[in-house]
Structure 1
Amino acid sequence: MAQTTMTVRLNETLSEFVAANVGERGAYENVSEYMRDLIRRDKERVEREAFDRLKAELAQAYAAPESAYKPLTAADVIARNKA
């Protein structure tokens, strides 16, 4: 797997916060480990939000009355999507 090196500039407040979470005083051995964990958590949050939106859309579709549905052929769907 390819790796990328990034440089991040932090103000003093954020830098102190990171320092408090890294090393002997913190939960992470180094800044890279801390950043990877933050990025993974953010990625999981974004994926969870997307999944929640999909579930909400599906719940709305399943809650619609039967009369809201109309039969479509594959050609109808293709034509609708081209428009």
Structure 2
Amino acid sequence: MPRTTTMTVRLSGPLSDFVATNVSGDGSYENVSEYIRDLIRRDKERVEREAFYRLKAELTHAFAAPESSYKPLTAAEVIARNRT
């Protein structure tokens, strides 16, 4: 069963006005909870996308290295190297 968390957030001034504009009859969201969930989903996607591009850049760099620079390693050596 998915875990549910209840949160209380206090906003005032321009932030409160901005949320009210987005959560209204003319806004994009029916309620504040829907708006917050969408913001969190988008932020999660951004974090995952950034991690993917960092990994992609690292792999691109590694595969661009000349074959002569590779050396065989055992799984235990890779694990030990990554722990440091």
Same structural fold, with TM-score higher than 0.5 when normalized by the shorter chain: yes
RMSD over aligned Cα atoms: 1.7
Cα 1:16–1:80, aligned 2, differ >3 Å: closer, same or farther?
A: closer
Give the Å deviation of 1:75.
4.7
Partner of 2:34: 33
Q: Across the two proteins, how many residue pairs are aligned to each other? A: 83
Unaligned runs of 5+ in 1: none
Output one character per residue of 1:30-55: Cα deviation in whole Å (capped at 9) or x when no partner: 00000000000000000000000000
Distance 1:57 1:24, change over 3 A: same
- Return closer, same or farther for 1:77/1:39 CA change in 2, 3 Å cut-off: closer
In the alignment, which residue of structure 2 is the partner of 1:4?
Answer: 5
Query: Following the alignment from structure 1 to structure 2, what is the Cα–Cα distance between the partners of residues 78 and 18?
Result: 47
TM-score (ref. length: structure 1): 0.87
| Distance in 2 separating the partners of 1:82 and 1:72 | 15
Instruction: Name stretches of at least 5 consecutive residues in structure 2 with no aligned partner.
Output: none
Distance 1:12 1:31 in 2: 16
Same amino acid, percent of matched pairs: 75
Q: 1:8, 1:76 → 2: CA distance?
A: 47
Distance 2:50 2:12 in 1: 29
TM-score w.r.t. structure 2 length? Answer: 0.86
The CA deviation string for residues 10-43 of structure 1, in whole angstroms up to 9 with x for no partner, is 1210000000000202000000000000000000
Residues 52-72 of structure 1, C-alpha deviations (whole Å, 9 max, x = no match)? 000000000000011110122
